[in-house]
Chain A
Amino acid sequence: MPQVRIVARNFMDMVASLPALKLDKLYENSFICEAILRSLPSLAKKYVLQLLYIDGPVTAKWLEEWVLPDGVSKHKAAVDRLVQLRILTETVERKKEATYLFNSTFQRNLQKHIVHGGVLPRESMPSNITVRLPSLEELDAYAVQQWEFFLLHLINSAEAEKSTNISSSMMKVFQRGLLSQRDDKEPPKLTESGFQFLLMDTNAQLWYIVREYISNCEEVGVDTADLISFLLELSFHVTGKAYNLNTLSDRQRSITKDLADLGLVKLQQGRKESWFIPTKLATNLSISLADSTSRKQGFVVVETNFRMYAYSTSKLHCEILRLFSRIEYQLPNLIVCAINKESLYKAFQNGITADQASIATLHNGKIHLFFFQTCKMQIISFLQQNAHPRVAERTPTVPENVTDQMRLWESDLNRVEMVPAHFYDEFPSKDVFEAACDFAREYGGLLWENPKKMRIVVKAEIFTQMKEFLRKQKQ
């Protein structure tokens, strides 16, 4: 089975895939409604607002009328998403006109929200009880440090200085798909997904981990809906304020402990009470996921001579840069590296390992399925997103000659074009073979033929026609 790809944005897919009952129950929580709304594509947000006070079904035409030809695909995506999340219910009547009905729970919650404004999930603790609360900067630093430490541990447990509280079984769960280990002797290697994961921005990484966390909990028998609603609720707490742990259920308390290891919350203990302080990572959870990135400051300067200066003290950054460049010097606050062909090839090789291109044999022994996956380079976008503020103002942030060269190097490796195809063999007679050739040629699907051995390769897209044709030939 081909590996599950990492797509950073599909947390909402997971929500959407929840059974209808659970989903409806989720929408009773107004925070979830809010978070879901923020995660929608911009057109969908507009539709929600537009239909907020409409009772009863609305014909599809009412939405479609507004769409310009350029926006048809976006419109479709938006409506599909809304239907998927059961915010709109689509009914197609006999007259063939689709109508949409707004989910009333969702609607009511949002209506309440826009009239009363948002409400906080729980009251923060008075400051006379909580002492020595960290400042926002300290909290940010704590969150970043915690997160990076976790990542470092994730990709390279040997490099990490101290062990994390996260149980090794949990770590294994996170590592699943990101690392591959052929046998115990070899150190585990990053897979393509792992490689992509590291180059994603923090929010996307966070969502990936959270998603893995949720699915892991599901395996242990925790109700995912509860977990999701707690996580989303958490994101509506105010950063830097202290909240009493006693207000949480036992399960939530144990989840909070795990989250503290990821840097989402900071746990503190007072004389009697103990409390948790949400960090920026937690509040970012509900940031619009459709196209989300954080506005963090970059640190990388790429020069036209393929040199890279990374102003960073982070060991993790160093590890990430090592993925695709050669580290030349490491100073206390500066990493100097160079991008060259060898370093990039190494990165590409990490990206496409043998596991990813799978060749499966299918159907009645004669038909083979060629299936490959191609790797898409993310290094450039990583460099662009993490550009140092000095160069971030410039366009392009990464010199064009560098990006072009990197693309060229990549395309060097992708000289082969993959086309899903079927391979036909053992034709009963020359006539049948030639007829099949002609047929395939006519449909523009003939890729390769060998008249001597009577073999052809035909594009997968005309598989059904081909099958039909061959059956007729047999008769």
Chain B
Amino acid sequence: MADKQVMKRAKYKSSVKDPGVAGVLKLNIERFVFMPNDPKASTKLNVEFRMITGHKFTKEGSSKQALLNLTQEQGGNYIFEFDSFADRDVCREFVAAAIAFHSEAGKATTENSAALVNSEQLSRAETERRIKLLQENSELQRLHRQFVFGGILTDAEFWATRKKLLDQNDNRRPKQRVALKNEMWTVKPLSDGQSNRVTFNLTPEIIHQIFAEKPAVRQAYLSFVPNKMTEKEFWTKYSRAEYLHSTKNVVAAAAEAAEDEELAVFLKRDDMLANEARRKIRRVDPTVDMEADEGDDYIHLPDHGLFQNETKDVLESQYEPYRRSFSQDLNQHAAVVLQGRLVDVELGDPRSVAEALSRTKQAEVSDEISNRNLEKELSDRISRIAEIEDLQGPRDPAVAPLSIKDPRDYFDSQQANAVKALGDAGSGAKPLKSSVSPREAYGSLTDLVSDIRVMGLSEPIMNPEVALKVLNGLTQSISSTKFHLGKNPRESVLDSLPKVTKEELLHHWTSVQELLKHFWSSYPITTKYLYTKVTRLKDAMSQVYPKLQEIKESVQSDFRHQVSLLVHPMLQALDAAFAHYDADVQKRSAKSGERFNGFG
């Protein structure tokens, strides 16, 4: 549908009398475009279909011109004259479809009722999704064409029952996003070996990573640059700090930090990180994980199993804030990588990156603060776990046992027919109503068993003539059932029908279902909108009857019975709908005697 386009030769006229400008009219689902043959002419048109509210056209046959008149929302209209009625009709149909496609929003607003119709303008993405669905599913497309273009359902109504389908399709949309690099940015100073200069390479990617992993640096950047220092100064300072860290000389770092306030920011432990960590710890589930096993235990390993290469010197407490452990860095890096790329900003500008990151962090924090439920849930869970199962009374499921007074009813209701159908000859001659004492009956049974124990099996088991007779009988019955039921015993009746009939039946079945779905969902009728919808549906349904009758008559007499069996349930369902409709109309008219007509 989406890529369908119609192109026809036509004349654009400002009024019916106007001789018009010859040109080419191009239609697609979004818009129509008119290009005059004379490129200099100024009557180019490019109008979106959602601006068009209706269309009129001249009747075929008379000596009239083949005209198509598109009415615009604001009043004006576009008149086109076509070379032939055939051309016109093609365009007319397309226009009708396109208008139907775009008009729900408009209709909903003009009807100003509390219609259930989606009143918001359809986004382009939404439209595309629908079109895609229609393209993928030919059956859906057929239904859509039949009902929406046929004017029985509006597009919105049609899709309203298929929200799930649309959503499903929607879920597939999010594309894979590139995460941050999995590599830790470790400072590898590039020293040229001659001078004492140490160079660091910073790329936008790395800056992004630094900002994501080190909120304090980000904060510092936002507050220092460019008021206090230039970008270059900032990064130089940062690099200096990193360099100091890499030398692992805590004492030297502390000394430098004391001198330079700004440098201290980088060297000290990141307070924001610490805060965040505390917050996270608060959210940790305090209950014991009963499913955890030895494999989850890493506590017994020193430093989580990482090789510790830092000096184990006992440091004075004043240097404590300047120490940074490798595992801290590693954890923070891992957390950031796992979080994925939170912001989609151009990497070029460090400032915008920093700001965006801060924003997302803040949003997270505020989310959490507002989300008191979480804590409640946690405490709930604790109390739930805390109760000791052994001490609890048995929890009775709220189920009432099913009491069936007499299962024999089921038997009578279902099985009696089945036996009847076999034309049981034996059922007439019921076994003799002989009353036997159990002793006698069991006695004879035991006798027979012991007979066989003594005598062995009777030999031969079977007379060859009897065997032949049985085999013959069975073979004959097989060949006769083969004839009746076709080759495959599991074949359904549908498969035996001609292909056209089968498809038609299936189509009618789906369309009847669609109509009924909409019909029943419109009850109870509370608005005028629903009322008109039901009327439309009812008319459409009444047209199904003759069609089904037609199918029935079109098939050969051998199949007619089977077809009518298949059609029967459809008719019954339609009948039920009509019965309901009539009853409803009666009730309504009875009420309207008391009140005024209809829906206030």
A and B, direct touch (CB closer than 8 Å):
yes
Residue B475 is within 8 A (CB to CB) of chain A in the complex: yes
Residue A365 is within 8 A (CB to CB) of chain B in the complex: no
Residue B457 is within 8 A (CB to CB) of chain A in the complex: yes
Q: Which residue of B lies closest to A55 (CB)?
A: B464
Residue B471 is within 8 A (CB to CB) of chain A in the complex: yes
Q: How far is the CA of A68 from the CA of B479 in the complex (A)?
A: 11
Q: Determine whether the beta carbon of A65 is less than 8 Å from that of B467.
A: no
Q: Determine whether the beta carbon of B475 is less than 8 Å from that of A54.
A: no
Q: Which residues of A contact B488 (CB under 8 A)?
A: 68
A–B Cβ pairs within 8 angstroms, 23 of them: A53-B461, A53-B464, A54-B467, A54-B471, A55-B464, A55-B468, A58-B471, A62-B471, A62-B472, A65-B475, A65-B478, A65-B479, A66-B475, A66-B478, A68-B487, A68-B488, A69-B487, A111-B460, A114-B461, A115-B456, A115-B459, A115-B460, A115-B461
Q: Which residues of B contact A69 (CB under 8 A)?
A: 487
Give B residues with C-beta under 8 Å from A: 456-457, 459-462, 464, 467-468, 471-472, 475, 478-479, 482, 487-488
Residue A475 is within 8 A (CB to CB) of chain B in the complex: no
Q: How far is the CA of A61 from the CA of B482 in the complex (A)?
A: 14
Residue A50 is within 8 A (CB to CB) of chain B in the complex: yes
Task: Please provide the 5 A-B residue pairs with the shortest distance between their CB atoms, ordered closest to farther.
Answer: A53-B467, A55-B464, A65-B479, A115-B457, A53-B462
Give A residues with C-beta under 8 Å from B: 50, 53-56, 58, 61-62, 65-66, 68-69, 111, 114-116
Q: How far is the CA of A55 from the CA of B482 in the complex (A)?
A: 27
CB-CB under 8 A for A65 and B487, given A53-B462, A54-B471 = no
Q: Which residues of B contact A68 (CB under 8 A)?
A: 487-488
CB-CB under 8 A for A54 and B464, given A62-B471, A65-B478, A65-B482 = yes
Q: Which residues of A contact B459 (CB under 8 A)?
A: 115
Most-contacted residue by chain B among A65, A111, A114 (CB, 10 A): A65
The answer, among B460, B471, B482, B487, for a CB contact under 8 Å with A50, is B471
Nearest-neighbour CB distance to chain B for A94, whole angstroms, equals 22
Q: How far is the CA of A414 from the CA of B475 in the complex (A)?
A: 49
Q: Determine whether the beta carbon of A62 is less than 8 Å from that of B475.
A: yes
Nearest-neighbour CB distance to chain A for B371, whole angstroms, equals 42
Q: How far is the CA of A61 from the CA of B457 in the complex (A)?
A: 33
Nearest-neighbour CB distance to chain B for A92, whole angstroms, equals 20
Q: Which residue of B lies closest to A50 (CB)?
A: B471
Q: Which residues of A contact B461 (CB under 8 A)?
A: 53, 111, 114-115
Nearest-neighbour CB distance to chain A for B464, whole angstroms, equals 4
Most-contacted residue by chain B among A54, A56, A68, A111 (CB, 10 A): A54
Most-contacted residue by chain A among B457, B459, B468, B482 (CB, 10 A): B468
Nearest-neighbour CB distance to chain B for A101, whole angstroms, equals 13
Q: Which residues of A contact B472 (CB under 8 A)?
A: 62
Q: Which residues of A contact B460 (CB under 8 A)?
A: 53, 111, 115
Q: Which residues of A contact B456 (CB under 8 A)?
A: 115-116
Q: How far is the CA of A69 from the CA of B460 in the complex (A)?
A: 36
Q: Determine whether the beta carbon of A54 is less than 8 Å from that of B457.
A: no
Q: How far is the CA of A65 from the CA of B461 in the complex (A)?
A: 26
Nearest-neighbour CB distance to chain A for B70, whole angstroms, equals 58
Nearest-neighbour CB distance to chain B for A442, whole angstroms, equals 36
Q: Which residue of A lies closest to B468 (CB)?
A: A54
Nearest-neighbour CB distance to chain A for B475, whole angstroms, equals 5
Q: Which residue of A lies closest to B461 (CB)?
A: A115
Nearest-neighbour CB distance to chain A for B479, whole angstroms, equals 5
Q: Which residues of A contact B479 (CB under 8 A)?
A: 65
Q: Which residues of A contact B487 (CB under 8 A)?
A: 68-69
Q: How far is the CA of A114 from the CA of B479 in the complex (A)?
A: 30
Nearest-neighbour CB distance to chain B for A31, whole angstroms, equals 20
Q: How far is the CA of A58 from the CA of B460 in the complex (A)?
A: 20
